[in-house]
Amino acid sequence: MNEHATVSLSIEPERYELREARAYVFELTRRDLFKFLGAGALFFCANTKTIALQESGRGQRRGDDMPKDIGAWLHIGEDGKITVFTGKVEVGQNIRTSLAQAVAEELHAPVSQIELVMGDTLLTPYDMGTFGSRTTPTMNLQLRKVSAAACDLLKDIAAKNWSIERDRLAAANGKIVDPISKNSATYGELLKGREIAQIIPDQDPLLPATEWRVAGKSLAKADGRDFVTGVHKYPSDQKLPGMLYGKVVRPSKFQATLISADTTAAEKMPGVIVVRDGDFIGVAAPSEEIASQAAAAIKTEWKAEPQPSSKNIFDYLRKNPERRESTNSPADQGAQATVRGSGQQLLATYTVEYIAHAPLEPRAALAEWEGDKLTVWTGTQRPFGVREELAAAFHIPQESVHVLMPDTGSAYGGKHTGETAIEAARLARAAKKPVKVVWTRKEEFTWAYFRPAGVIDIRASVDSSGRLEHWEFTNFNSGGSGLNTPYAAEVRNEKFQPTKYPLRQGSYRGLAATANHFARESFMDELAHQAKMDPLEFRRKNLKDERLRAVLEAAAKKFGWPGVKKSSEQGFGIAGGFEKGGYVATCAEVTVDRSSGSVRVARLVTAFECGAIVNPDGLRNQVEGANIMGLGGALFEAIEFEDGRILNAAFSKYRVPRFKDVPAIETVLIDRKDLPSAGAGETPIVGVAPAIGNAIFNATGVRLRSLPMVPNGLRIS
């Protein structure tokens, strides 16, 4: 049984937002349009196949590969300053730091001399986007290769300059040194500001992780001081001279079309520009406040069809399958397989509600036109994707669009799209001035996209010795990530069934791996209970994957599994899994107050292994953060909606984890220097919900099969 084959590399099955129609189809004005067409516009159509296959590189201009010349990625100034160019972006996962470590390591240069230019569509090589935990396995590796090649080249130049054997030269601390003559020259002196046009060799021996000196060690967040002093300019902080503030008038419901709009009052307000183009209606004004007042003064009438509500969402998903059915079980025995075997059968249904990313910085963009050239500063995980969206929206070639991505106030998979970029650009086009659009919290909670709701059916049988015989698993709507069980069942049938869905939905940290692990690892607990086995022992018995076994055992050891209850209110749970090259196991301790029904998570112990660790403290930070974010979705986060409206679009109504919710968190990192480094931002989230659910069962005997598990406390019947 191939247990690794399902690690998703570049295609995210739930990237539903890529299939949606454009939110606005701008007509602009006829004059505008003719001018663009007259200029000989080039239209670049997104080639899905190409995008699926390649992730970085200037694919759309120069074939499918990443640029092969060092100079596309790295420049060394005469002053020795090293500038690195990558299309990846910084949203708090601290890759600005870990990528600099990779460069420092292979280039033998101090981190302090390295600066990264990130997510700038003019300056950096094409990149599909920052998602899927792909930065470490791909970009880190790429920049190591680039840096190693640059270092070799610097040695060549020094050897030539000094007319000596190249092999005796060493590189250290930003210099090439000849240990015999004691000659040395800085990289800046050797290159004299020249571009490095050299090609990156296919095979360049990189330093093994066991020899790392800069990578493999903790390094603080790059430019940390700018963040604690308020100096750093996030997308929403950007400003240009003469800039106006934009506000979009929102429809009454999702999928609504504009019937009529009365803009007279808004147009009379001083300095206010009103733009109506198809279903788009918005304003630009000299201040945020006036823009809000002007938008509120526009009277609109919308028309929309009745839409499903959160109260009946699971029924809706189950009853509305889409014909497209993706089954990605490597050991699929066919959809006709039925549960068989001698053992006891068990079946259960799990559900997961829609939840919001709620990045603390809402979507924001500043757009400026110079003639037909458009520049946009925006917070997005896909600056090149936003460039495509803008080019399509304004009927201009991608060359005319420049997207820049200042380090952004988080995303968690929620900023793959360019809504504010398009809105700001449309308003700026009409205003003939730069326009900034920053979504309100209510807009962010309403008009962004959500982590999909889902229904998961599982049926399995276990023989008398505690071995899984049959495993049948169907996920409706939430997605295919983490669909396949790592446990060795004789017969497996696992499928993801896409359905119609009522809300805009897309990527979220860990994608559907959270839903699928919640269902699977809770159900494994149910099976263990039925087989009267310890949950850890039951997993071990059915597990062949040594890396998963290692994290389960490490977490259990640190936690003190199976634990000794100090009171009947206490419960302990364990869960594990793997996804995106990372292996995780989580143990939870909960306390349930039987009279009030309140559930407190007291302790979470997580063991994580993602190959060779690049930045241990950075990794620890990510694991802790995933635990806390996971806690929200496990216990109380849920989007409530009714007939095309969100009912809890505010932090006062949508509960996110706060200080008093946060348990003691202990992290065990397993550093496998013999394995390639995998990404780590997502996978540590997947064990949190099932570990907590299993602990609640252990405390109370109540099995919770819906996320969030206790939005209003636990009802113990």
Partner 1 sequence: MARVISLLVNDTPSKVDADARSSLLSILREQLELTGTKYGCGEGQCGACTVLIDGVAHRSCLTPAADAEGKAITTIEGLAKNGRLHPLQEAFLAEEAMQCAYCASGMIMSAVGLLQTDANPTESKIKDSLEGNVCRCGTHPRIVAAVQRAARIMKGGTS
Q: Which of residues 584-643 bind partner 1 (CB under 8 A)?
A: 617-618, 621-622, 624-629
Phi, psi of 602 (to 5 degrees): -90, -30
The torsion region of residue 702 among left (phi > 0), alpha (psi -120 to 50) and beta comes to beta
Q: Which of residues 424-443 bind partner 1 (CB under 8 A)?
A: 438, 440-441
DSSP class of residue 711?
B
Least distance (Å) between residue 679 CB and partner 1: 15
Q: Which stretch binds partner 1 (CB under 8 A): 33-41, 89-97, 259-267, 510-518?
A: 89-97
By CB under 8 A, tell whether 232 contacts partner 1. yes
By CB under 8 A, tell whether 704 contacts partner 1. no
Among 208, 224, 330, 560, binds partner 1 (CB under 8 A): 224
**Please, are residues 147 and 694 in contact by the beta-carbon 8 Å criterion?**
no
Question: Measured from the CB atom, is 64 or 624 closer to partner 1?
Answer: 624
Question: Measured from the CB atom, is 218 or 530 closer to partner 1?
Answer: 218
Q: Which stretch binds partner 1 (CB under 8 A): 47-55, 99-107, 223-231, 471-479?
A: 223-231
Give the per-residue contact string, 315-334, with partner 1 (x = CB under 8 A; - = no).
--------------------
Give the per-residue contact string, 371-390, with partner 1 (x = CB under 8 A; - = no).
--------------------
Torsion of CA 71, 72, 76, 78, to 10 degrees: 70
Report which residue type is found at 106. Answer: E
Rounded to whole angstroms, how far apart are CA atoms 219 and 227?
16
Report which residue type is found at 556. Answer: A
Least distance (Å) between residue 628 CB and partner 1: 3
Least distance (Å) between residue 287 CB and partner 1: 6
Please give the size of the binding site for partner 1, defined by CB under 8 A. 57
Rounded to whole angstroms, how far apart are CA atoms 435 and 283?
10
Rounded to whole angstroms, how far apart are CA atoms 61 and 125?
10
Cβ-based neighbour number of residue 541 at 10 Å: 18
Question: Measured from the CB atom, is 622 or 700 closer to partner 1?
Answer: 622
Question: Measured from the CB atom, is 233 or 299 closer to partner 1?
Answer: 233
Question: Measured from the CB atom, is 124 or 408 closer to partner 1?
Answer: 408
**Tally of CA atoms within 13 A in the half-sphere of 332 that contains its CB:** 16
Least distance (Å) between residue 411 CB and partner 1: 8
By CB under 8 A, tell whether 241 contacts partner 1. no
Residues 6+ positions from 296 with CB-CB distance below 8 Å:
none
Q: Which of residues 264-293 bind partner 1 (CB under 8 A)?
A: 287-289
By CB under 8 A, tell whether 136 contacts partner 1. no
Rounded to whole angstroms, how far apart are CA atoms 353 and 489?
29
**Please, are residues 7 and 580 in contact by the beta-carbon 8 Å criterion?**
yes
Report which residue type is found at 492. Answer: R
By CB under 8 A, tell whether 652 contacts partner 1. yes
**Please, are residues 155 and 176 in contact by the beta-carbon 8 Å criterion?**
yes
Question: What sign does the dihedral 388-392-396-397 (CA atoms) show?
Answer: positive
Q: Which stretch binds partner 1 (CB under 8 A): 48-56, 78-86, 224-232, 499-507?
A: 224-232
Rounded to whole angstroms, how far apart are CA atoms 704 and 350?
9
Least distance (Å) between residue 413 CB and partner 1: 12
Least distance (Å) between residue 229 CB and partner 1: 6
Report how far apart, in Å, the C-alpha atoms of 712 and of each of 284, 596, 597, 636 are: 42, 10, 9, 8
**Please, are residues 451 and 516 in contact by the beta-carbon 8 Å criterion?**
no
Instruction: Give the footprint of partner 1 on this chain (CB under 8 A).
Output: 91-94, 220-221, 224-225, 227-234, 236-237, 239, 245, 287-289, 357-362, 407-410, 412, 438, 440-441, 617-618, 621-622, 624-629, 650-652, 656-660, 662, 665
